[in-house]
Amino acid sequence: MNIRRLRLRSGASLYLLVAVLLGIGCTPAVAGSAAKVDAGDTAWVLASTALVFLMTPGLGLFYGGMVRRKNVLATITQSLFICGIAGVLWILYGYTLAFGPDLGGLIGSLDWIGLRGLDMKPAPDPFSSLYGSTIPQEAHVIFQGMFAIITPALITGAFAERMRFKAYLIFIILWATLVYDPVAHWVWGHGGWLGELGALDFAGGTVVHICSGAAALCCALVIGRRKGYDREHFSPHNLTLTLAGTGLLWFGWFGFNAGSALAANGLAANAFVVTNAGAAAGMVSWVLAEWVHRGKPTALGAASGAIAGLVAVTPASGFVAPIAAVVIGLIAGPACYLSVMAKTRFRYDDSLDVFGIHGVGGIWGALATGLFAASSVNPVVATDAQGLFITGSAVLLGRQLIAIVSVLFYSLIVTYLILTLVGVLTPLRACEDEEDAGMDISQHGEVGYAFHP
């Protein structure tokens, strides 16, 4: 008993050491903002956080249904496991890198490492203006954490059916750290240079979709085509999963966009309306496009169009009126449909069209924000830098372009460097036999369905 106590004691000491280093006990920092937590706003942001969380498993189903049967678990797991790995990193250092006190407009400092120094009150001034002045800062932490999870998860669609789990794991850790955290800081962090510039991104057109879309393109190019690219057709094995995933993604997206108001107010309600309008219009227009072009309206087209519409409306969702969202969605459908077609021409194998939908949809959405943003919807939009179609001035559109181009290229380049590095450490893709047998059995030793005797 004494010995055990001793062990506990020394265990406790060790723990305390680590704790001090990481700031474990620090939740109740003394300083803090004078602002008060509002229960209604907090309720909405927490509910939204849960909604955004669900998008990642939903994405797993969405993606998982589109691959061949032998890769279904590997594909879902490549989404789901990011809830684990990126979830831990976010608390350890991701949040402080992205949202911590600014260093040169480029990155957050390590002041809030391990969430140390955060208390149960709203973020202190001047952060509260961006991180919510009526919600506990931890609500901001975890709401943003869900974005840090889904963004790398989106990329996995590009290298589905061939990337090794080990390489994937290292890649994700590096990408979350070196691409996502800085880019989130640029756009949404207090002092980030793109935010300061006045580029608008309500819920992640650049940070989430362009950033992951560009990375996806890079991955598809570097990792190469799936075995059998010219010979076999890689048709989806279980579209019921994909349709279920679509429902969950759309559902979660309400938190994504309307939660980004960080309050339960008129802006949130407008973002909610606008989100649904964009998704609905995207669904309809993609289906019409393929109906005209190929002669059949498809289930997968409806699903893809909804996602395209959601992607496109995301950056605009806090700045535009409902009818503008309908227009954004109506264009997003055919635009993404065309870009998915283009893929075949350029012969790169972005397995599940991450670039075609998230990249292109995100770019269109960021531009559309520059066309339709109105300060009447959101006073954050400067009256002299509203959308081109509102005031005829292209000032905002120019800023949007800068944001698009810089995030696109930063993500492309750094993703390329990361892949090169990972490739040195461990092979990026499975060998031919493993690819033939399927990633489920070769990477995980499992099979998706045991329907046979």
Enumerate residues 245-304 that contact another protein by CB under 8 A: 290, 293-294, 296, 298, 300-301, 304
Question: DSSP 3-state assignment of 102?
Answer: strand
Shorter beta-carbon distance to a copy of itself: residue 104 or 453:
453
State phi, psi for 192 to the nearest 5 degrees: -60, 145
38 vs 446 by CB, closer to another protein: 446
Out of 63, 71, 74, 411, the residue judged to bind a copy of itself by CB under 8 A: 74
CB 388 within 8 A of CB 397: yes
Chain positions 349 to 378 lying near another protein, rule: CB under 8 A, are 353
Q: Pairing relation of β-strands 107-108 and 102-103?
A: antiparallel
Asked if 452 is part of the footprint of another protein (rule: CB under 8 A), the reply reads yes
Instruction: Give the ranges where 127-192 is alpha helix by DSSP (H).
Output: 128-131, 137-155, 165-175, 181-188
Contact, 277 vs 324, CB < 8 A?
no
Nearer Cβ to a copy of itself, position 222 or 390? 390
Q: What residues between 386 and 405 interact with a copy of itself by CB under 8 A?
A: 388-390, 392, 394
The entry of a copy of itself, another protein, none near residue 293 (CB within 5 to 8 angstroms by kind) is another protein
Q: Which residues contact 8 (CB under 8 A, 6 or more apart)?
A: none
CB of 217 to a copy of itself, least distance (A): 25
**235 in contact with another protein (CB under 8 A):** yes
Residue span binding a copy of itself (CB under 8 A) among the ranges 50-58, 97-105, 222-230, 422-430: 50-58
Distances (CA, A) of 66 to 113, 349, 414: 39, 14, 28
The SS3 of residue 103 is: strand
From the list 177-185, 191-199, 266-274, 415-423, the region that binds a copy of itself by CB under 8 A is 266-274
Q: Which residues of 346-377 are buried (b: 16+ CB within 10 A; e: fewer)?
A: eebbbbbbbbbbbbbbbbbbbbbbbbbbbbeb
Q: Which residues contact 21 (CB under 8 A, 6 or more apart)?
A: none
Identify whether the C-beta of residue 259 lies closer than 8 Å to the C-beta of residue 52. yes
Q: Pull the structure tokens for residue 253.
A: 């997206």
Q: Does 200 bind a copy of itself (CB under 8 A)?
A: no
238 in contact with another protein (CB under 8 A): no
Q: Considering the rule CB under 8 A, would residue 232 count as an interface residue with another protein? A: yes
- From the list another protein, a copy of itself, none, pick the one residue 250 interacts with, judged by a Cβ distance below 5 to 8 Å according to partner type: a copy of itself
* Residue 81 interacting partner from a copy of itself, another protein, none (CB closer than 5 to 8 Å by kind): a copy of itself
Look at residue 429 and give its three-state secondary structure.
Answer: strand
CA 85 to each of CA 24, 71, 164, 176, 256: distance values in angstroms, whole numbers, following the listed order = 19, 21, 16, 10, 20
Q: Among 123, 142, 158, 308, indicate the residue that binds a copy of itself (CB under 8 A).
A: 142
| CB contact at 8 A, 95 and 114 | no
Q: Does 425 bind a copy of itself (CB under 8 A)?
A: no
State in angstroms the smallest separation of the CB of 386 from a copy of itself. Answer: 10
> Does position 99 bind another protein by CB under 8 A?
no
Report yes or no: 148 and 176 within 8 Å, Cβ to Cβ: yes
Residue 438's region, left for phi above 0, alpha for psi from -120 to 50, else beta, is left
Q: Print the binding letters for residues 26-45 with a copy of itself: x by CB under 8 A, - otherwise.
A: xxx--------xxxxxxxx-
Which residue number, 102 or 435, has a Cβ lying nearer to another protein?
A: 435
CB of residue 220 to another protein, shortest distance in Å: 15
Site string for another protein, 302-341 (x = CB under 8 A): --x--------------------------------x--xx
Query: What are the residues binding another protein (CB under 8 A)?
Result: 228, 231-233, 235-236, 290, 293-294, 296, 298, 300-301, 304, 337, 340-341, 344, 353, 433, 436-437, 441, 444-447, 451-453
